[in-house]
Amino acid sequence: MELVTGVKKPETLELGELLDGSMEGREVKVNGAIHSIRDMGNVGFVILRKREGLLQCVYEEGVSRFDLKELKDADTVEVSGTLTRSDKAPGGVEIRMQDVRILSEPAESMPLPISKWKMNTSLEAKLNYRPISLRNIRERAKFRIQEGIVRGFRDFLYTQGFTEIHTPKIGAKSAEGGANLFRLEYFHRPAILQQSPQFYKQMMVGVFDRVFETAPVFRAEKHNTKRHLNEYTSLDFEMGYIDGFEDVMAMETGFLQYTMNLLEKEYSRELRILGVELPKTEEIPAVRFDEIKRMVSEKYNRKIRTPYDLEPEEEMLIGRYAKEEWGADFVFVTHYPSKKRPFYAMDDPEDPTYTLSFDLLFRGLEITTGGQRIHDYRSLLEKMEKRGMTDEGMEQYLSAFKHGMPPHGGLGIGMERLTMQLLGEDNVRETTLFPRDLSRLEP
């Protein structure tokens, strides 16, 4: 029997420790993957890829106790040497190598030029070689920023008294119902994959008042566009005791403010690598659906063709309008027509053809749908009846309302879309680790 007592500080150092100045002139050990090698005869440069960035290691004939020819791209190694200040090296330090220990070797050379700053590779090729293309410094930085977004979402909501929940993805019935569901057999019973945690998070408002979930959702939509995925990560929250859907918009604004601040502080390296400028979130304009439709139609001289919905081009023009008129990257579009919202959306008592709901557009693309929900049992039944829905399979959802629910509302944010817009990418697959679309089920 031996005793495990927890994490010990390893002998090898990480980039942060090498850069903080305390180890200069000292013998150090580091590990990493060989990102590239420049052999100039008596001298050579070996660039190590570490999780925090790149590190330059210098080979000098006579000083280094090995032959540079022994090393090749994509070896993983442990290097020993002297940490030295060098203005030309990335980060201002380099290691003058003495010894190297090869930890592992590739069997074949790289199919993509991952050590280039920009790979100039098609999206298709990047996705086909996903585990390799992500080793590029710029590619992986996108997903560090994505981590920051999700982290910001959770950490902000913890400060606001939300509880994290984990709800099932296999179910008998879905919140939005009908089309666009993946179906499967569950021990000889028909089942579906959830399109959203909507029903569950609402039920849990009756338990914890405020809940959130960050989890996959599944949509069997048959369109292959630059902004759709068939599986994506949804950042969902739902909050009770609201005075109106304005409270939900305020909470989302708070999340964005918190998260941009977190990214600035903790992910500045990745923002710099990608040249990202963070959007302003101090004030986000909110404007009615029918009004912004009219304003955009007038300003850009564009006919309104779909009175109940926003066309993608209209969303883009709203983004342009918000930027030109208000200097805003984000804009809340409120009071969507009732017929385009699900049954659980609360209609506006002043005009029930509209709902107390909103979308958030970020640089001309919808990244959030949210709003106030119906909390009164009888009102919910009435709305369902009006839409010709039965309560089959919804007994548990409805029971939460039957036994009392506070006024509440919430929203869902598409993680990959928010990342895409923040980074200025033009295809949501660029900011999805392993996308699932009509044609892509692998890797």
How many CA atoms within 13 Å lie on the side-chain side of 204? 21
Q: Provide φ and ψ at 117, rounded to 5°.
A: -65, -50
**What is the distance between the alpha carbons of residues 47 and 37, in angstroms, rounded to a whole number?**
6
Which residue lies nearer to a copy of itself by CB, 88 or 265?
265
Sole binder of a copy of itself in the list 20, 27, 39, 283 (CB under 8 A): 283
Residue 125 interacting with a copy of itself (CB under 8 A): no
Residue 92 interacts with a copy of itself (CB under 8 A): yes or no: no
Q: d(Cα 163, Cα 303) in Å, to the nearest integer? A: 45
Start-to-end CA distance of the chain, whole Å, equals: 41
- Which of these ranges, 61-69, 93-101, 134-142, 422-430, lies near a copy of itself under the rule CB under 8 A? 134-142
Task: Show the beta-strand stretches assigned E in 219-276.
Answer: 231-240
Say which DSSP state 90 is in: G
The one among 108, 298, 350, 392 contacting a copy of itself by CB under 8 A: 108
| Span 71-90, contacts to a copy of itself by CB under 8 A | 74-76
Q: Is 151 one of the binding residues for a copy of itself (CB under 8 A)? A: yes
Helix 245-266 to helix 137-159 angle (10° resolution) is 130
Tell which positions 289-318 bind a copy of itself, by CB under 8 A.
Answer: none
Longest pairwise C-alpha distance within the chain: 86
Using CB under 8 A as the binding rule, whether residue 401 contacts a copy of itself is answered as yes
Instruction: State both tokens at 11.
Output: 């002998």
392 binds a copy of itself (CB under 8 A): no
**Residue given tokens 């020819």 in the structure block:** 69
Q: Does 183 bind a copy of itself (CB under 8 A)?
A: yes
- Report d(CA 76, CA 102) in Å as an integer: 6
Nearer to a copy of itself, 106 or 305 (CB): 106
Residue 235: beta bridge partners?
A: 214, 413
Over the window 407 to 436, marking each residue x when it contacts a copy of itself by CB under 8 A and - when it does not, the resulting string is x-------x-----------------xxxx
Kindly state the number of chain residues that form the binding site for a copy of itself, as judged by CB under 8 A: 123
Nearest distance, CB of residue 23 and a copy of itself, angstroms:
17
146 binds a copy of itself (CB under 8 A): yes
Minimal distance, residue 62 CB to a copy of itself, in Å: 29
Distance between CA 6 and CA 299 in Å, rounded? 63
Nearer to a copy of itself, 63 or 184 (CB): 184
From the list 215, 262, 278, 384, which residue makes contact with a copy of itself (rule: CB under 8 A)? 215
Tell me the window of 81-89, 250-258, 336-344, 347-355 that interacts with a copy of itself (CB under 8 A).
Answer: 250-258
Q: How far apart are CA 311 and CA 308, in angstroms?
A: 10
Question: How many Å apart are CA 409 and CA 201, to the nearest integer?
Answer: 10
Interface with a copy of itself, residue 251, by CB under 8 A: yes
Answer yes or no whether residue 375 interacts with a copy of itself by CB under 8 A: yes
Nearest to 318 by CA among 338, 340, 289: 289
